[in-house]
Chains A and B, each alone.
Chain A
Amino acid sequence: RKEVEQDPGPFNVPEGATVAFNCTYSNSASQSFFWYRQDCRKEPKLLMSVYSSGNEDGRFTAQLNRASQYISLLIRDSKLSDSATYLCAVNKAAGNKLTFGGGTRVLVKP
């Protein structure tokens, strides 16, 4: 089993709809969790950190489920500009050696 796994997609989403996808991790000692957005052939950019209590940033909501060892990202009111690959990243411990998932591709269509 991979350390960090994601459904590669693509998730085809009508504009204005809601889409959600998960990222599972294998190490129960993992401490820090992040969602990155990556456009084609560009560098990943931090979308949001994921806190134990969950967090929301505008149309984006991230949640952590430690019992089932996954994090989730929900995008409400999808925009065409949300089309991208979303990478999750997990840190085993302090020291910041992040392990990335393979990414979930989201395509928002008119």
Chain B
Amino acid sequence: DGGITQSPKYLFRKEGQNVTLSCEQNLNHDAMYWYRQDPGQGLRLIYYSQIVNDFQKGDIAEGYSVSREKKESFPLTVTSAQKNPTAFYLCASSNPGMGASEKLFFGSGTQLSVL
């Protein structure tokens, strides 16, 4: 079945540590996104990529980094510069420009907590 896979489901970070969240899709979508969700709040865009080897900052990119070396993969690194990383992280993909089909498909999320 086609879909988006995020791993791990739960992740714990120590102070000063970098951690990487995995996101893989087999939907052949061009665009991929990372969102952060804090309790009781909506989704905020961290980074997005519309094509391989290219990505742009979203609204809250500070303290995060990404890469897009392959179409199907868009890993997110939460660096030690991100002072408040505890949140629910959601990866999504889409095929922009498909008209009515330009909608997001989400992975099941990663809950990141600080030890």
Contacts and interface: CB of A to CB of B under 8 A. Distances in A.
Interface residues of A, number: 25
A41 B97 CA distance: 30
Interface string A95-110: 1111111110000000
B106 interface: yes
Interface residues of B, number: 25
Given A41-B88, A87-B43, A32 B106 contact: no
B50 interface: yes
Interface in B35-91: 35, 40-45, 48, 50, 58, 88, 90
Nearest to A87: B42
Interface in A26-85: 32, 34, 41-46, 49
A42 B90 CA distance: 9
A42 B108 CA distance: 6
Most buried by B among A6, A44, A49: A44
Contact of B96 (A46, A87, A96, A100): A96
Contacts of A89: 104
Nearest to B108: A43
B31 interface: yes
A91 interface: yes
B57 to A, nearest CB: 11
B111 A94 contact: no
B88 A45 contact: no
A14 interface: no
B45 A97 contact: yes
